[in-house]
Structure 1
């Protein structure tokens, strides 16, 4: 068994917490940690674990804990991850790994020095549909990959801090980091250049205080191999959560995902046909999170490399910065 401590018991953290508490083979959730007493008590009332901590350093001092799942605000990822590595705890860290490439390098180095696993939470790689598409691409069924397109649209109105792109990076960081990782994964290559354009269409009331904020972005990407990429992202679309991708090859194409929540299509006497849209990423990728958590435990027990490594997490951070720099300066940004 791998004994797990969940650090961060908010909405995203509790997805991992519920998985580790009963859905993951060979895993046991034994500890919760959160500085917010209300969150901690609520999580403990549901999960009833053996240990509860307000300070993550106290949790890391517990020799019964083998691994941690870090789902805190990004600003705390570096200090917690490095401390966890030094305490010989394996690490699953939600994306983004950090907001800074150098900090990512420090986390990666700490994990390597202390011989612990470091997995970053890009759950799309564990989604059954994305995995099937990746398998088909790698088998050459659509020929050589020529163009990869990916989009993410989020329905919710941004929280106040998200309007400050120096903190959030806007949609490029908040939603498109998943798309950037998806493109790297399917291309099996590194990005050579990014050109991004965007605008604020849904939140005009914040333009005075946050003149650089954008809620919609379009990015054109070129990989070192010549493969082309296209990403679009948006926040506060309101119609529902939307995550889709397309891979075009020399001999075929693959479409991944759809806007509908299910396959129920309702036809009524007013001659209108309706279908529910996807309401949330928590619903769309529910099973992907289970597979992600299972893969983390498996890589510890089997001593294998995580599917999403610290390097993958660092490259996503690097590409987010490149995309944002391109958008703000209205120029092609070359990635070294």
Structure 2
């Protein structure tokens, strides 16, 4: 059985999904839309894309296309989700669903009422290391969870124009960690306290954002969480996680080109972390689209649904409110900005 999909947005992530989807035998990537296509013509021919268009409605109106991947800018996601739901297309949407919790709720309601599947692109859930830790927690290997620690630091900050349209550190970057916290702990976040600073680039502060943050979380099961973020780690892409419980702990370290450690009289050394997210999460990106395709083909539940996307946005909003007010924020008390 062949399952035909279309991609909306042919930036870095959209093109990555094309590569990964084309490796799945049952999948046919028929169409790609982008606001500009001139620079994509040679690429589309190489990838055997049959239709290249500037109007994503061409994909929604194509009866052969059963699912669409929304890889366009965030401010377009909610509208496309509603239109895709109305067109009966299954939906894979990159994070976040929107910059507004109420807008996300409205879009997800349309998709749910349409009976289509919707998966949100929190790729880190599909990383083999983090999945192993979640399994250990679920199986009780570390006992009752007490503390979760997540370190997430980029190797360098994005450009200022991206910062201005990103929705802020919490909605753009930390939102992955908020989702990971729920995923690993298996419990909802009920309170958020955040501290932020501009320590990497003054222009980020001038753009109204922060580049460094520490966030503490309280979970409904009584456990605590700590997340630390930076837009710039000189040594590479720093992605670590530890879960501590009453029977022990489990840690996921950084991925490196090799796991060789050199010990001499002068020093003990190992290679730096892989430099960026496309290298670090190669397998996770493959797994997330493979599982979405399987859910559509076999009518299974998706692994990361719209509610997961909504909850991560709610936590991000609460963190922003905590920064602005200087006090902890309970999830039910966060407000729109």
Matches within 5 A, 1:220-239: 220-239=216-235
Q: CA deviation at 1:66?
A: 0.6
Q: CA deviation at 1:300?
A: 0.9
Moved more, 238-247 or 225-234: 238-247
Q: Which ranges in structure 2 are unaligned for 5 or more consecutive residues?
A: 333-337
Q: Work out the CA distance in 1 between the residues paired with 2:134 and 2:282.
A: 19
Query: Residue 335 of structure 2 aligns with which residue?
Result: none
Q: CA deviation at 1:204?
A: 2.5
Query: Residue 3 of structure 1 aligns with which residue?
Result: 4
Q: Work out the CA distance in 2 between the residues paired with 1:155 and 1:272.
A: 23
Query: Residue 110 of structure 2 aligns with which residue?
Result: 110
Matches within 5 A, 1:206-245: 207=205, 209-210=206-207, 212-245=208-241
Task: Tell me, yes or no, if structure 1 residue 69 matches structure 2 residue 65.
Answer: no
**Cα RMSD for the two superposed structures:** 1.9
Aligned counterpart in structure 2 of residue 174 of structure 1, from 153, 172, 175 = 172
Aligned counterpart in structure 2 of residue 193 of structure 1, from 191, 194, 200 = 191
Per-residue CA deviations over 1:65-112 (Å, capped at 9, x if unaligned) read: 010011111001011111111111100001111111111112211111
Query: Residue 271 of structure 2 aligns with which residue?
Result: 275
> Secondary structure in 2 aligned to 1:146?
strand
Q: Which ranges in structure 1 are unaligned for 5 or more consecutive residues?
A: none
Q: Work out the CA distance in 2 between the residues paired with 1:90 and 1:124.
A: 21
TM-score between the two structures when normalised by the length of structure 1: 0.93
Q: CA deviation at 1:132?
A: 1.3
Q: Work out the CA distance in 2 between the residues paired with 1:68 and 1:35.
A: 16
Q: Work out the CA distance in 1 between the residues paired with 2:136 and 2:279.
A: 25
Matches within 5 A, 1:1-336: 1-21=2-22, 23-164=23-164, 167-205=165-203, 207=205, 209-210=206-207, 212-258=208-254, 260-265=256-261, 273-336=269-332
Q: CA deviation at 1:41?
A: 2.2
Q: Work out the CA distance in 2 between the residues paired with 1:205 and 1:30.
A: 41
TM-score between the two structures when normalised by the length of structure 2: 0.93
Q: Work out the CA distance in 2 between the residues paired with 1:251 and 1:271.
A: 34
* Contact kept? 2:259, 2:270, Cα under 8 Å: no
Q: Work out the CA distance in 2 between the residues paired with 1:5 and 1:100.
A: 26
Q: CA deviation at 1:174?
A: 2.1
> Secondary structure in 1 aligned to 2:132?
helix
Q: Work out the CA distance in 2 between the residues paired with 1:201 and 1:28.
A: 46
